[in-house]
Copies of this chain bind each other. A is one copy, B any other.
């Protein structure tokens, strides 16, 4: 109706009321279309996922539809449809988790249900419903309580749900045991068909790996923290630019990433090896990094209050303590950028250490400035100095955070065997080692080697960029 009138609007234009309504309707439609477009453009995998669900459902519904199959499986064919709808999740890990939970829970509960049914028939006609009622109550109540255990809730919540459902259905079905086994066979095979369809489509058509997502999310979050610090360091020059707000908002999304990270880590646990990740990649390490990143973001929240605190006409002392602050901020930002790049390209984070050391050196410089320049010599306004001191103090806290993040990412790198960045210098050095010319000092931690032989690792700074390009095309 409304669509019709909206089409006729121009030709008739008889009533202002109708015009207003159609106008509003048009605006709504345009808004929805735009929102839909944006959702699809933000993550095209959403469109692919929708098509995948449609495909899986269409395939499975043919089992139900075509008579030869239908006669073979009977009503049980609808379990295949039910399984697909309920089990197909956005990520491979989510789908696998639900499929495995559903499969094992159905098997276990089916066996228990048959046993319960058999036990109940032994109690005679009067005792049967009473015993079954008691059993259903006990199983349902204890299983429901089990869902409150955090460990069970995290991984097996859906399995426990299906366990309760299947046990109740089988125990109460009232069939003889021989009938039940036939029914169970039909149901299990249809569930298997549904689950297998989901798993195959989910893994082989545009797979969305929760592990890969978690990996990328962690790298992006560290990068956001880096942008904030770099933006804060550049403050004076950047304030007028358009990027101002984006670098200020980035860290806020880090603060809210906890729930997403945890669900991705849970799903990733179920996933087989994929791309650069093996089965049972240390996913929990990403959660640890996430905790530290949020702590760091918290300090940034405190820091963001001082973003415009720079005085119009800075005094000499202000300049003295402002310089190392800028350096701390920029170097910490660079360290985090390197760490993010290392995660993204799964290479060992070598150059981050240098930047952490530089920012620590700046912090020491700052401390010695404060120590040596007795306040007696300061002629400036306290109102001007206090914010600068606060910024300095929070930045020193941030260095500690960045160092912890760096340690945590090094741990990740070791646990999951990230490859070493093969810079020309290092290849050369490895060859020397091979020929026995240079005595090896340590090969694990690359900055040590670099410092011992080259004295500086500044030359390596261009390496991650080329590595990145390679990784993108891989």
| Chain A contacts to B: CB under 8 angstroms | 35-36, 39-40, 46-47, 49-51, 53-55, 57-58, 61-62, 64-67, 70, 75, 78, 81-82, 85-86, 129, 132-133, 136-138, 140-142, 144-145, 148-149, 161, 164-165, 168-169, 171-174, 255-256, 258-259, 294-295, 298-299, 301-302, 305, 370-371, 374-376, 378-380, 382-383, 385-387, 389-390, 392-394, 397
Contacts and interface: CB of A to CB of B under 8 A. Distances in A.
A296 to B, nearest CB: 10
Nearest to A306: B393
A136 to B, nearest CB: 5
Contact of A387 (B54, B376, B382, B393): B393
B298 A172 contact: no
Contacts of A39: 145, 148-149
B165 A81 contact: yes
A383 B397 contact: no
Contact of A382 (B165, B173, B371): B371
A58 B148 contact: no
A58 B129 contact: no
Nearest to A88: B144
A58 B140 contact: yes
A61 B136 contact: yes
The count of identical subunits is 2
17 contacts: A39-B149, A50-B142, A53-B144, A57-B136, A58-B140, A65-B132, A75-B75, A82-B169, A85-B161, A86-B161, A370-B386, A371-B382, A375-B375, A375-B380, A375-B382, A375-B385, A387-B393
A264 to B, nearest CB: 14
Nearest to A47: B145
A144 B78 contact: no
Contacts of A129: 62, 65-66
B61 A133 contact: yes
A173 B81 CA distance: 11
Given A258-B258, A390-B394, A374 B370 contact: no
Contacts of A61: 132-133, 136, 168, 171-172
Nearest to A63: B172
Nearest to A394: B302
- Most chain B beta carbons < 10 A, residue from A144, A255, A383: A144
A50 B390 contact: no
Contacts of A57: 136-137, 140, 164, 168
Contacts of A86: 161, 165
Contacts of A379: 376
Contacts of A397: 302, 305
A172 to B, nearest CB: 4
Contact of A298 (B46, B164, B298, B392): B298
A13 to B, nearest CB: 33
Give 8 nearest A-B pairs by CB, closest first: A54-B141, A302-B302, A50-B145, A54-B137, A54-B140, A50-B144, A298-B301, A85-B165
A171 B375 CA distance: 83
Contacts of A47: 145
Contacts of A67: 174
A57 B159 CA distance: 17
Contacts of A295: 301
A332 to B, nearest CB: 16
A289 to B, nearest CB: 16
A138 to B, nearest CB: 7
A64 B148 contact: no
Nearest to A387: B393
Given A53-B144, A376-B378, 11 more contacts: A36-B145, A51-B141, A58-B133, A61-B132, A65-B129, A67-B174, A82-B165, A375-B380, A375-B385, A376-B376, A390-B394
A299 B172 CA distance: 57
Contacts of A173: 64, 78
B54 A144 contact: yes
Contacts of A145: 36, 39-40, 46-47, 50
A64 B132 CA distance: 12
A219 B365 CA distance: 45
Nearest to A85: B165
